[in-house]
Structure 1
Amino acid sequence: MTNQTKYLPIGSVVILNDGETPVMIVGRVLLLGKKQILWDYQAVVYPTGLEETLVYFNQGDIQEILHRGFEDATEEKAQAELNDWIQNNADQYTRGQTE
């Protein structure tokens, strides 16, 4: 495999570029909408959790990692599956862009 991304695990808490409020990752490699927009991560505001707002962003939007989520052998397998899916479906999505 080439161009593998090391995704942060679920439960990781990060600060986004130009942001101050921490967000906690609750989903990875998500396709949204009819146009099949791909985002690396889905997150909720920390510490309030799931409310009305979900935050979508990509690896390059992360300014600082405050906490890494749980990692084990299952996480390693999930990493490989995420990267395989990205490579095998590259023609089926457009990468999301943050403003």
Structure 2
Amino acid sequence: MSEESKLLPLGTVVYLREGTTKIMIIGQGPVFEDEGHDVYTDYMGIGYPDGFDPDEALFFNNEQIDKVVFKGYEDDESKRYNDVYNQWQQSTDVLKKQL
């Protein structure tokens, strides 16, 4: 069981710890296969301003974020998604990937 996460909204631009490139959040709670097991992270991001390249997508968690440069759009729907995400984290058998 994971503790509750406050997800940053889509479109948020961050620096990761020890990172030198801005990353834009384009996905929340992605589940993917890693070494034969399903895992998830809090976010999927892309280099900013480069844009999307499927071979360059980054997966990271709240703990890896060093600085928020720009906070993306947030409304009632995104707040509701955050609540659902926290409920899912508490009930899922999928492991959170530790990075």
TM-score by length of 2: 0.89
After TM superposition, list the pairs within 5 Å mapping 1:27-46 onto structure 2.
27-33=27-33, 34-46=36-48
**Pick from 69, 83, 87: which aligns with 2:86?**
83
Residue number in structure 1 paired with 2:23: 23
Which amino acid counterpart does residue 94 of structure 2 have in structure 1? Y
Deviations 1:25-68 (A, max 9, x none): 00011111141111110000000110131000011000100011
The structural deviation recorded for 1:71 is 0.6
Q: Runs (4+) of structure 1 moved beyond 3 Å?
A: none
TM-score by length of 1: 0.89
Residue number in structure 2 paired with 1:49: 51
For 2:98 and 2:89, the matched residues in 1 are separated by 17
Residue number in structure 2 paired with 1:61: 64
The structural deviation recorded for 1:97 is 2.4
Instruction: Mark the runs of 5 or more structure 2 residues left unpaired by the alignment.
Output: none
- How large is the RMSD of aligned CA atoms in angstroms? 1.4
Which amino acid counterpart does residue 5 of structure 1 have in structure 2? S
Instruction: Mark the runs of 5 or more structure 1 residues left unpaired by the alignment.
Output: none
For 2:91 and 2:79, the matched residues in 1 are separated by 19
